[in-house]
Amino acid sequence: MIPPSLRAAGMPFQRLFGVWFLFSLTMGTLPVPTSALADSQRALELPVDHGKAPLPVANWTKSFWINSPGANPLAGEGSQGPLTEDADVCIIGSGLTGVSAAYHLGKQLEGRERAAPLKVVILDARDFCAGATGRNGGHLSPVAFASFNLALQRFGTDEVLRWLALERHTVTEVVKIIEEHGLQEAVDLTNGGRIELLITPEELTAAKADYKAAEAAGADLDDVKWLNEGETFGSSHPGYLHTGYNLWPLKFVTELYKLAAASPALNLTLHTRTPVTAVTPSNGSSTRPWTLNTPRGSVSCTRIIHATNAHVSHLLPHMSGPAGVIPVRAQVMALRAAAPLDSISRHAWTGNEGFEYWFPRPLEEGQEHPLVIIGGGREATLPKYELYVADDSAINPKAGAALRKFLPTLFPGKYEEGREPEMEWTGIMGYTASSDPFVGPVVDPSSSTNKYEGHFVSAGYSGHGMPRAFACAEALAQMVAAGIMGKSWSPPEWLPRHYLTNRVGLVQH
Ligand SMILES: Cc1cc2nc3c(=O)[nH]c(=O)nc-3n(C[C@H](O)[C@H](O)[C@H](O)COP(=O)(O)OP(=O)(O)OC[C@H]3O[C@@H](n4cnc5c(N)ncnc54)[C@H](O)[C@@H]3O)c2cc1C
């Protein structure tokens, strides 16, 4: 998980290895290269043609979130029996984006005079929410100011402030829903704040400069507290603390689905284990102009929301490669700490330019030492960084080896060297060259005709979707609802205009 809008000039491999080697000599044996972000970004932007993304694989690695007993009651919902024949809105993907889109459609249309509830169907290739959302690091943290300067250069002050506003809007709204419905325990919400550990002197210098620029631009930095080496719970690095939550993402999405299904404005159904293999024009139907093709039959749709993130280019091939959304495999493990929760701290953490991220789970009865969910290790797989890897049925041993050593090295004595994780899994993120998602009507720039009329997309959160997908789906639902009601749509103030697929005269991705 790397902060969004992070872009940097490429760094040659020789230099990268030099930095890693020097760092190892001076700081001990951190098992991952430092200062790898620029190089991974360069690799991401290489104009290579890997073609469209495949469908999600069927035999995915088991994740703590999905495979803990009772965690996924909707796993196989709608996978048997008759398939819904048609719908006003067909949503492809049951992760945070797809389910948020359904939730927001309900909110948008509630109280509006309509003859019948909006017929909405969600289809997913796998079990409910078994993509990135069911396999991620569990952090729900808005960016405080990281990468502010880079984003400022690229998008300008208004856009960078909107980016921060969108993330705060998401987190505020998600927490509000959880609190209003008394779901804190159901989704394991923890308001521990997040510590960004600044491991190299260069990271510290860049963070100070970003803070200054954010302050000058008028960003709200009241929640930021700088920490020196002695204040980071036993690590020998400085950092800063800011707003941050962690939760059980699948359980939150399950609750959100239940809220959407209860909306009087919607008639909502879900079909899991139903991959959409193609979208084709319907023969002669003006009310349901699109057909979703699945191995179980077809669904006729008026409008389509593509919430397929890393796999978006499977159905929208023009969205493949560096100009679109690149599948990138990420690895996570659940590792038991060797010290009590209070000495580990309840915070969520990131380190090493955001490549590693971790937090301790709440203690369960009888447990003394917390289970820590830690993700990252991708920079140890250089030069490929797991780019264009869309297969989460396997783990990468290099990333795994790095992750096993990371916390014992950073926090001597608090984690046991050589301890095996209780679970280890992978998931597929959707990266864009700008680190920002595509939100809005589907537009194929190579085509002069609008061949995707009625299709919408929100995808490409670049490993940082928890504080963005909910709000991006809200913007999408607003657009779709406006179309249904025959009204025009204007973007909410918090939506960065450069996220929009149909932006005109704005900075390109
Ligand atoms: C290992 C990992 C760790 C991460 N950690 C964090 C973190 O801690 N914090 C954070 O902010 N972000 C994190 N992210 C990113 C975050 O999880 C994603 O940005 C977010 O979950 C995206 O949600 P989504 O609904 O768009 O995509 P997904 O959750 O991937 O949902 C897409 C769904 O579409 C389905 N699908 C795809 N193609 C088809 C098709 N053709 N037909 C039918 N269904 C289809 C998939 O099966 C999947 O269920 C992480 C991601 C990964 C993989």
Ligand 1 atom index nearest CA of 129: 49
Measured CA to CA, the distance from residue 194 to residue 192 in angstroms comes to: 7
DSSP class of residue 310 equals G
Quote the pLDDT of residue 447.
Answer: 82
Quote the pLDDT of residue 28.
Answer: 52
In DSSP terms, which residues pair with 293 in a beta bridge? 278, 298
The count of other CB atoms within 10 Å of the CB of residue 475 is 23
In DSSP terms, which residues pair with 120 in a beta bridge? 89, 268
Q: Which CATH superfamily is domain 64-133+250-323+434-499 in?
A: FAD/NAD(P)-binding domain (3.50.50.60)
428 CA distance to ligand 1 middle (Å): 7
Quote the pLDDT of residue 49.
Answer: 81
Q: DSSP H helical segments within 335-468, as ranges? A: 341-344, 397-410
Quote the pLDDT of residue 13.
Answer: 41
Residue whose Cα lies nearest atom 35 of ligand 1: it is 93
Quote the pLDDT of residue 2.
Answer: 59
Instruction: List ligand 1's pocket residues with C-beta within 6 A.
Output: 1, 55-56, 92-98, 123-126, 130-133, 135-139, 275-276, 307-309, 311, 314-315, 330, 332, 357, 375, 427-429, 459, 461, 463-467, 469
Ligand 1 atom index nearest CA of 100: 25
Ligand 1 atom index nearest CA of 134: 29
CA 258 to the chain's CA centroid:
21
Buried b / exposed e over 24-49, threshold 16 CB at 10 Å, is eeeeeebbbbbbbbbbbbbbbeeeee
- Alpha-carbon dihedral of residues 4, 107, 94, 310, nearest 10 degrees? -30
In DSSP terms, which residues pair with 267 in a beta bridge? 119
Quote the pLDDT of residue 502.
Answer: 83
Residue whose Cα lies nearest atom 15 of ligand 1: it is 463
Q: 239 near 350, Cβ under 8 Å?
A: no
What does pLDDT average to in each consecutive run of 10 residues of the chain (509 residues)?
A: 46 43 52 92 91 97 97 98 98 99 97 87 98 98 97 97 98 98 97 96 97 98 96 95 98 98 97 98 90 98 98 97 96 97 94 95 92 97 95 98 96 95 98 96 87 96 98 98 95 97 54
221 CA distance to ligand 1 middle (Å): 29
Measured CA to CA, the distance from residue 10 to residue 366 in angstroms comes to: 49
Ligand 1 pocket, mutate which of 74, 91, 99, 136 (most atoms under 8 A from CB): 136
447 CA distance to ligand 1 middle (Å): 28
Quote the pLDDT of residue 1.
Answer: 66
Residue 292, φ and ψ in degrees, nearest 5: -90, 125
429 CA distance to ligand 1 middle (Å): 6
Ligand 1 atom index nearest CA of 425: 1
DSSP class of residue 282 equals -
Distances (CA, A) of 457 to 101, 311, 388, 453: 10, 12, 20, 12
308 CA distance to ligand 1 middle (Å): 7
The count of other CB atoms within 10 Å of the CB of residue 366 is 5
**Cα first-last separation, the chain:** 20
Ligand 1 atom index nearest CA of 138: 8
Quote the pLDDT of residue 22.
Answer: 42
Q: DSSP H helical segments within 294-365, as ranges? A: 312-315, 341-344
Quote the pLDDT of residue 475.
Answer: 98
109 CA distance to ligand 1 middle (Å): 26
Ligand 1 atom index nearest CA of 426: 1
Residues 6+ apart with CB under 8 A from 505: none
Domain ranges for the chain: 64-133+250-323+434-499
Residue whose Cα lies nearest atom 18 of ligand 1: it is 465
465 CA distance to ligand 1 middle (Å): 8
Ligand 1 atom index nearest CA of 277: 41
E runs forming strands in 86-174: 86-92, 118-123, 139-140
Quote the pLDDT of residue 503.
Answer: 67
Residue whose Cα lies nearest atom 8 of ligand 1: it is 137
The count of other CB atoms within 10 Å of the CB of residue 410 is 25
Ligand 1 atom index nearest CA of 468: 11
Measured CA to CA, the distance from residue 239 to residue 226 in angstroms comes to: 6
Q: 292 near 276, Cβ under 8 Å?
A: yes
